[in-house]
Structure 1
Amino acid sequence: MLFCADLPSLIQEGPQCGLVALWMAGTLLSPPSGVPLERLVQVAMERGYTAQGEMFSVADMGRLAEETLGCQAELLRGGLGGPNRGLVLQHLVAGHPVLIPYDEDFNHEPCRRRGHKAHWAVSSGVLLGVQHVPSLDYTEDPELPGLFHPVPGRPCRPPSLPGEEAPGATYLLSKQGKSWHYQLWDYDQIQDSNLQLTEFSPSRATDGQVYVVPTGGVQAGLCGQALLLRPRDSCH
């Protein structure tokens, strides 16, 4: 069962993965024209959140989102598990994007490098493995038997969401700024990657560039955190 919203693509230049992810999320929150990436970079630099486009603070990203996109930004702490798991899944089922920092592997998927490959992705959908379709408000995909989508324009009752101990698969439909393509990431995989962002990359520390890193470093700014974005007039 797939709940998703479509995102545009923009291949990043330089260390702007977080701002590109925010720009993509903004297309789901703002008018069709959206907010230009250049505007996000400009405001982030003016506020002191970044030196060249990098974003090492989820809290700063939330403040930037509220100022530039006019949306609500809810900062999650303590990882993507436990009670936060239900919040993330319900948020995605409602059609709203989530910004998640993680370590990026060579194939762009989440990995565990202690924050040395810290990157940002925007998730705009969720694929749930459930035992049965809960109502007639879902339609089967014409090309993929067994895959059901919510019927557009019809309020549907979400299925019971698979928990950490409950049966069923959970995948996040995600995109990040180094690829044109969506990827499906196992929820536990992105949860684990997000929870071990603890160190600033040694290669970045010695590359001669200036980066804005919050007090407490990468661990204080990114580890175990995510950002739920929703339109200003929407309900939780």
Structure 2
Amino acid sequence: MPSNVCAVFCTDGRGKNPTQAGRDAVTRASFGCRPMTCTSRYSVRSQAMYCSEKSLSLAYRVLQRTKGSEEHRYFMWNVETQAKLQEGPTCGLVALSLAADQAMNRRQVTSEFIKFSDDLDCVELLRQARQRGYTKEGEMFSAHQLAKLATDYYKCQADVTSFSPENPKEIVSGLLDQDMYVIPYDRDKNNEPCLMGGHQAHWAVLTGFVTPIVIESPSLFQKTLYPNLFTCISDDSKIIKENLNSFLSVDPERIFFYARHGMSRHLALWPYSILKASNENLYEVDPSRAAQNDKFILPPENELKSCLCSKLLRLSKKQ
């Protein structure tokens, strides 16, 4: 079974979460397999099934808290990834390694998570970043330097772009192409995006999305055992992308992106509008960190506007 998860769903119309048994039944019907027996290109174990259930359940929970979500059907696509836990301020290197593993199809996932010091790529990225004068402790305050590490170490295409009105659809299209996106944002105490002016700058990887749809191509979907829940008849991203414009309704206020980052083992799902606002408010380095300029490699005058603010790093295989 492929590691990509795709589903179309809406709430049960009563504002209640489905039962675990219901979710399990939906997942079994969606993938046409028995629980804990499916495989992916990453593992011969049940990792893909476990993550698929988690990502679907996460979407349900988030949408239940979203006002007006019961009025829409939603399409979900997520690439299952292994969590990597940072050690020290190495969030950027962890995010780069995690994204490159998927974009380059380099990694076989055999456990729920891996620590920084146990990941040979992360350790080597830190060594090279130090050698180039990008970092001292693992901190990365430049999207362009992170892109340079990606192209030199992973031999992949790494493009730094800025946010624009077309970004949501471009990101969705890129994710369907198996590209990965690394994004800086301000991290709140619960790891979600916030507005701290860059004082809590952090890095995350976008692995998938949840977005409203208008079903105009019913042949692409099939019903499951759960009311108003649909899955893709094909899990081929090329087929889905070919029909993207016919059923995708990318409303920036209602699209969500799945994310992973080095501070948690758990997959996250954040509203695009909040993530974008957080990314665009990265102005300066935390003054308490700036006072330790002998310990870290900091940007000139401690400002982040030119190196992190509104930046997005896209990783893909070289053509």
Corresponding residue of 2:85: 11
Cα gap change, 1:60/1:161 in structure 2, threshold over 3 Å: closer, same or farther? farther
The 3 A distance-change label for structure 1 pair 50 and 116 is same
Residues 34-57 of structure 1 deviation map (CA, whole Å, 9 limit, x = unaligned): 962111111111122111111100
Cα drift, residue 162 of structure 1? 1.2
Name the CA distance, whole Å, in 1 between partners of 2:212 and 2:318: 31
Cα separation, partners in 2 of 1:38 and 1:202, compared to 1, 3 Å: same
Q: Report the counterpart of residue 121 of structure 1 in structure 2.
A: 204
CA 1:91–1:110 in 2, change beyond 3 Å: closer, same or farther?
A: same
Distance across 2 between alignment mates of 1:23 and 1:45? 16
How far apart are residue 230 of structure 1 and its match?
A: 0.7
Q: What is the rounded CA distance, in whole Å, between the counterparts of 2:224 and 2:180 in structure 1?
A: 23
One-letter code aligned to 1:18: G
Q: Does residue 39 of structure 1 match 2:124?
A: yes
- Local SS of the residue matching 1:86: helix
Distance (Å, rounded) in 2 between the aligned partners of 1:22 and 1:138: 34
Partner deviation per Cα, 1:156-182 (whole Å, 9 max, x = no partner):
222334144xxx720001011010111
Once residues 148 and 236 of structure 2 are traced to their aligned partners in structure 1, the CA distance between those partners, rounded to angstroms, is 32
The number of equivalent residue pairs is: 228
Q: Would you say 1:2 and 2:2 are equivalent positions?
A: no
Are the equivalent residues in 1 in contact too, given 2:214–2:248 (CA < 8 A)?
no
Report the Cα distance in structure 1 between the residues aligned to 2:222 and 2:187, rounded to whole angstroms.
Answer: 34
Structure 1 residue 9: deviation in Å?
Answer: 1.0
- Which secondary structure state, in structure 1, belongs to the residue aligned with residue 190 of structure 2? coil
Deviation at 1:136, TM superposition (A): 3.0
Amino acid across the alignment from 2:133: G
Aligned mate of 2:133, from 40, 45, 48: 48
- The letter of the residue matching 1:91 is G
Within the candidate set 307, 312, 315, 1:221 is matched to 307
2:290 paired with 1:205: yes
* Higher CA-based Rg: 2
> 2:194 is matched with which residue?
111
Structure 2 distance, partners of 1:204, 1:140, is 53
TM-score where L is the length of structure 1: 0.87
Aligned partner (choices 154, 160, 165) of residue 248 of structure 2: 160
Unaligned 5+ segments in structure 2 are: 1-74, 109-118
% identical equivalent positions: 29
* 1:15 match: secondary structure: coil
Q: TM-score, normalised by structure 2?
A: 0.65
Correspondence for 1:24: 98
> Hey, what does 1:66 align to over in structure 2?
151
C-alpha RMSD of matched pairs (Å): 2.4
Residue type of the partner of 1:193? S
Q: Distance in 2 between matches of 1:75 and 1:93?
A: 19
Larger displacement relative to structure 2 (92-101 or 117-126): 92-101
